Structure formats: structure tokens, C-alpha cells
Amino acid sequence: MSNSGAISRAEAEEFLYHEAELLDDWRLQEWKDLYTADSRYEVTSTDCEDPLSADPTKALFLVADKKDRIDGRANRLLKSKAHAEYPRSKVRHLYTNVRVVGHEDGVTKVRANFLVLRSGYDREQTTQYMGEFHYSLIRDGDAIKILSKRGVLDLHSLYNQGQMAIIL
């Protein structure tokens, strides 16, 4: 795998918009292929004291997936037996303030704010999740891949959101 070459802000922004489109369209098989074999997808808990440097083996995370669990999560959500998401919610992933915050050893660090809107079949109101994503992106040939993605929610609790069965 070649991971040389910095990724520009425009390239990162286009990549994040592509990821959002895959999630919104429930194209989870394609979404999971955006991740490298040794990738991580994490969402810190709402009360995490230091969400950017917290270790998921020592602190509570809402999601702390390696590639095999990313694949499993995508496959489960696509099945009709995924009761929490059947029928599937309608979702919109909105990304803004995309910033390249560093390049090191072929890895481009990207930060972006997000708002995810979710309207489920069994809900009267639309649920909102907001926060920031911190990505480590690499080049793999002509493609960009996710080495890691950490979501930090700007919420005091998930009480009003209920379950978080969707992929942020």
C-alpha cells in the first residue's frame, strides 16, 4: 500500500462528501470499503474528558471498531433483522469547516464539523447529532482511504437522541 503524498483540503472535502453520500444512501458495503485493513472507527462518550487523546481500551467509547467490526456493523445494518433500523431511517450527514490540520509520514490529518439528522419510521421528531470528526487519511494508489475516524459529539447526553444505531 502506498501512502505517500499529502491530501489537499479540496480532496479531503470531496472525500468526506462522498462518504456522507454513501451513508445517506445506505450504501454501507461501499462505505466500509473506504477503510484500510488496519483502520479504526471511534465515537467517544459524551462525558469523555479528553476525547482527542482518550484510549478506547481505558475509557468508555460509544463505538470503538476495528476493520472487522466496521464490516460487521455495515452488514448488520443492511439486514431486515436489524430491528433498530428496519425500516431504515432517513439520514443526512452534513459536513462543514473541513480543515487539513497536518501531514506526517504519508498520513493527512483532517478535522470537520458534522451534523447528522435522522428521521426514523417510529419517531415523531428528527434526531440530531452534532460534533466534530478527526480523520487520518492516506493515499492508496489513486484512492483515498480512512486510517482512522474519531467522532466527538457536542452533546451533553444521548437522552433525547435515544439509541444510536446509525453510523455517524
pLDDT at residue 76 is higher than 70? yes
In the structure grid, which three cell numbers stand for residue 85, read together? 433500523
| Ranges 43-47, 62-66, 117-121, most confident | 62-66
Q: Which helix (H) or strand (E) holds 112?
A: strand 107-119
CA distances (Å), origin 135, targets 51, 79, 112, 159: 13, 28, 8, 27
Specify the higher pLDDT residue, 115 or 159. Answer: 115
What average pLDDT does the segment 51-59 reach? 94
Instruction: Answer for the pair 121, 89: CB distance below 8 angstroms, yes or no.
Output: yes
Reported residue count of the chain is 168
Q: What is the mean pLDDT of the chain?
A: 89
Domains of the chain: 9-153 (3.10.450.50)
Instruction: Answer for the pair 147, 107: CB distance below 8 angstroms, yes or no.
Output: yes
Model pLDDT, residue 83: 65
- pTM value? 0.90
Q: Which helix (H) or strand (E) holds 100?
A: strand 90-104
Question: Each residue of 101-148: pLDDT tens digit?
Answer: 999 999 999 999 999 998 877 667 788 889 999 999 999 999 999 999
pLDDT at residue 160 is higher than 80? no
pLDDT at residue 3 is higher than 70? no
Instruction: Answer for the pair 134, 149: CB distance below 8 angstroms, yes or no.
Output: yes
